[in-house]
Chains A and B, each alone.
Chain A
Amino acid sequence: MTAQAKSPKRQTGTTYHDELAAIREELDKCMKCGNCMAVCPVYGAEKVEPAVTRSKIAVAEAVLAGELELDDPQVYEMMFNCLVCKSCMTNCPTKVNFDRIMLALRAALVRKNGLPWLKKMIFSTLKHPTLFDTGMRLGAALQGLAFKSEADGRAISPRAPFARVGGAIGFDGERQMPALNATPLRDRVDEVVRVEGAVMKVAFFTGDSLNYFYPETGRDLIEVLTANKIEVHIPKAQSCCGVPVLVHGDVDTARALARKNIDTIEATGCAYLITGCGSCGGAWQHDYPELLAADPVYGPKAANWARRTCDVSTFLTRIIALRPPTGRIERTVTYHDSCHLKKSMKVAAEPREILQSIPGLTFREMAAPDACCGSGGSYVLTHFETASTIGRKKAEDIERTQADTVSTGCPACMMQLLDNVHRVGGRQQVTHFISLLAESYRREKKDPDSGR
């Protein structure tokens, strides 16, 4: 960590993260037309006005007017009953940046009352990567006590005594989730994966989910890049993107993580930053420049990296020309648009193009592919009932396609889909789209004539 990054107070100006009144302009844009009701997943599940975006804006207005207190438990509760999925923003005629309103409210709450002790405890570990890393490894080692392995070996579900106490937050006996890996991705691969005749070098920002929960997916992503003659840098010093703490109002930690990640990636000297997670990519494209807007040193750096960050699918199909895969994959695949990938990074066509380029693969759209799956990071833990109502609808839409595989571009969605597909009795395998491409490339080697 550089000396500068150690001091979060060093920033000279303020942003909406530091000053609640800065979002007044966003609040003013809201006409209360209610278009957000058509797409808000929380409203769709709960069917009451306090669940929907425009009512949260009305409450924010009441807070700014001094009619409601920010730390009133009801205000607090309503504020956190939001997935920050940005669906409302895609349907808003006046383009209210509701994500900023929500982040500003949560940050203001933390400024007023401090982080609740539980969050403080969790997030303070994120500030110290080694401690966090140890915790995740420890979790991987101990998970066998609380969780039993499912038949396919990749999924686990809570064992009986833990399922009883965990039921309230969704850790009942039915829950499936990915196993924590004893060896995280960044420990499995070299910091630089070279390839003969490389045409470009890129940095891969793994994020925590690919590092700890889905290291195979991360490895597939690296494999696909090298198959396209791209040298991949995976610096071990990179940390969490900061979105999980930012959405809980911990602006200081989010800024510290942003600065540290910028330094780490900048040191690689790469031209592009590649992500395989909509939330991580969205952080680099939008949150970092906004968080650091008033920082004379890191602000311009963040803006620069925002332009050079792209999802792996965008990189493969828009920056370089994807080497067409020839390995046949006989599968029927549907695709779920991750909210942050589509609504924040505006990536929707690229993963579909990649899937449709795979020989043998039948692509089938589900109804409302960009409807939120209900994950929202920790939302699924804090609001399990609403999250599963949302997730069940998604799983039913998946089931109706009769696909055998559901792909997506975000590890958090993969976790939620895994759990909900299982709950409705679906048999779909849940995978990142990049893994299907990697599989096709691997088949080429096994069967050179495949697909021709």
Chain B
Amino acid sequence: MLEATVIEQLENLAGKENVLTGKVDLVAYSYDATADMPRQTPDVVVLPTSAEMVQEIVHLARRNKIAIYPRGAGTNLSGGAIPLKKGIVLSFQKMNRIVDIDPANLTAVVQPGVVIAALNAAVAPYGLIYPPDPGTVATATMGGSAAENSGGLRGLKYGVTKNYIMGMEVVLASGEKVRFGGKTVKNVTAYDFSNLFVGSEGTLGIITELTAKLIPAPKYRRTMMGVFKTLADAGNAVAGIIAAQVIPATLEIMDRMTIRTVEDFAHIGLPVDAEALLLIEVDGMAEEVVRAEAEAVMQVVRDMGGDLKTAETDQERDQLWTARRNALPALASLNNTVVLEDATVPRSRITDMLIACENIAQKYNLVLGTFGHAGDGNLHPTILCDKRDQDEISRVHKAVDEIFETALRFGGTLSGEHGIGMAKMKYLGDELGRPGLDLMRTIKQALDPDSILNPGKMVPLREN
């Protein structure tokens, strides 16, 4: 428990209305969207309204050695926002102003609490978009998604959050505020700090402002679906599309288990005997180019023996997307707990990884469906289990261990877009090795020597 004087000081510097201490309030900040994680209530929740306020809070926390847990909308999937060691949750829900939209420089300056969809709505009148589109665009904040380096469905062609953050203002653990980067496309001044803080999961500094890159909205798009009799055919189709020199905006895959579950759930006429389904969308600024790309994709799907469906209207496009949109809800309806992983492999190993996931499910007698972003190798093996069944949960843990082990064996990575947080910290050494872990610790200790920023996450500090 914090001393009453600390709460009082927080109230003085942030205003009473921005400091929450009721037990109900604290329960409301004890979780994020990650399944199978411990919950922990913070001592206090503070909702800052300015960077200066954040600085003062950090000074206070540092003096009193109190943990700070920065939080956007709390939609992350690796336990990153859970206040594991109590202390202060710093919620940016009230710093949600779009500071500047600059169509000449194709940039937007935002406060960290701006919701991604709100930014996109604000830049749409200029014919611009902010491309990163994690599944939570309607709720997730710019600050949170930058700290988590979130991805989405358009990663293959448009990249992920790190490709769109051009500059930042960050409050360091010292309480000092630094700014770097900005509106220039080129900037090689000093270290590439943006790429250090993007994906740092709140462990190195607290983002208080972001300069985001915008791009012109693609004017044309074509959507197609291919249904395949074998996983190998689907995998070959993915390879064939890339070999045909087409980079689709979206190239999504669903396995047999997911197809069947979606069909049972939504009754949209999917063939339940299919082994795999690909949802493909190509887009661009020139109609000719988009049409030629779509034709190339269709040829590949046919060549691989796929059953092809195409969308001519927005309504038909929506129908094709229904299957993908329902993947997670349908799987989630099977049981009370959804363990959603994001093991990622090189694109060429997608088929191997899907088969491996099926085998792991069989080995541990678990219900598992896999869907995900075939184009960038980022898969979501999803295990549906009963949180009250201890035996099943322990089998889930073994299966997850094996999924990550397999991904690494295939030359992949632990996390494509969800981050390490609490959920994957124990695997970190398997990917980075001891020197890699030491590098992480060196950076963490240099920037946050007292370990007050999101402690217990991402960096496995040596317990002392």
Contact = CB atoms under 8 A, between A and B. Distances in A.
Q: For the side of the interface on B, what is the size category?
A: 35 or more
B32 A75 contact: no
Contact of B25 (A34, A50, A67, A72): A50
B329 A68 contact: no
B139 A55 contact: no
A72 B338 contact: no
Interface in B311-332: 328-329, 332
B104 to A, nearest CB: 27
B93 A49 contact: yes
A113 interface: no
A50 B28 contact: yes
Contacts, number: 85
Given A33-B33, A58-B30, A93-B328, A38 B138 contact: yes
Contact of A47 (B23, B93, B336): B93
Given A38-B138, A47-B96, A49-B74, A32 B33 contact: yes
Given A31-B332, A32-B32, A93-B328, A37 B139 contact: yes
B246 interface: no
Q: Which of A37, A49, A59, A72 has the most chain B CB atoms closer than 10 A to its own CB?
A: A49
Contact of B35 (A31, A62, A67, A74): A31
Contacts of B136: 33-35
Given A49-B29, A55-B27, A74-B22, A31 B139 contact: no
A34 B75 contact: yes
B250 interface: no
Q: For the side of the interface on A, what is the size category?
A: 20 to 34
A29 interface: yes
Interface string B65-78: 00000000111000
Nearest to B113: A47
B94 interface: yes
A147 to B, nearest CB: 33
A351 to B, nearest CB: 22
Interface string B9-39: 0000000000010111101111111010001
A50 B24 contact: yes
A58 B328 contact: no
A183 interface: no
B91 A78 contact: no
B333 interface: yes
A65 to B, nearest CB: 10
B290 interface: no
B27 A62 contact: yes
B147 interface: no
Nearest to B332: A94
A68 B24 CA distance: 8
A424 interface: no
A28 interface: yes
Contact of B91 (A49, A62, A72): A49
A205 B173 CA distance: 64
Contacts of A34: 33, 73-75, 136, 139-140
Interface in B361-396: 387
A95 interface: yes
Interface in B118-155: 136, 138-140
A49 to B, nearest CB: 4
Q: Which of B20, B33, B117, B140 has the most chain A CB atoms closer than 10 A to its own CB?
A: B33
B219 to A, nearest CB: 23
Contacts of A55: 27-28
Interface in A25-82: 28-29, 31-35, 37-38, 47-50, 55, 58-59, 62, 67-68, 72, 74-75, 77-78
B300 interface: no
B385 to A, nearest CB: 12
A115 B332 CA distance: 38
B24 A75 contact: yes
Nearest to A94: B332
A29 B140 CA distance: 21
Contacts of A68: 23-24, 27
Given A28-B336, A34-B74, A72-B23, A49 B139 contact: no
Contacts of A77: 24
Contacts of A94: 329, 332-333
Contact of A78 (B24, B117, B328): B24
B357 to A, nearest CB: 20
Nearest to A24: B336
B20 A31 contact: no
Contacts of A93: 328-329, 332
Q: Which of B22, B24, B336 has the most chain A CB atoms closer than 10 A to its own CB?
A: B24
B47 interface: yes
A68 B41 CA distance: 13
Contacts of B23: 68, 72, 74
11 contacts: A29-B336, A31-B338, A35-B138, A35-B139, A37-B138, A38-B139, A47-B96, A49-B91, A55-B28, A67-B27, A74-B25
Given A34-B74, A50-B20, A95-B333, 8 more contacts: A31-B332, A34-B136, A38-B117, A38-B139, A58-B31, A58-B39, A59-B24, A94-B332
Interface of A: 28-29, 31-35, 37-38, 47-50, 55, 58-59, 62, 67-68, 72, 74-75, 77-78, 93-95
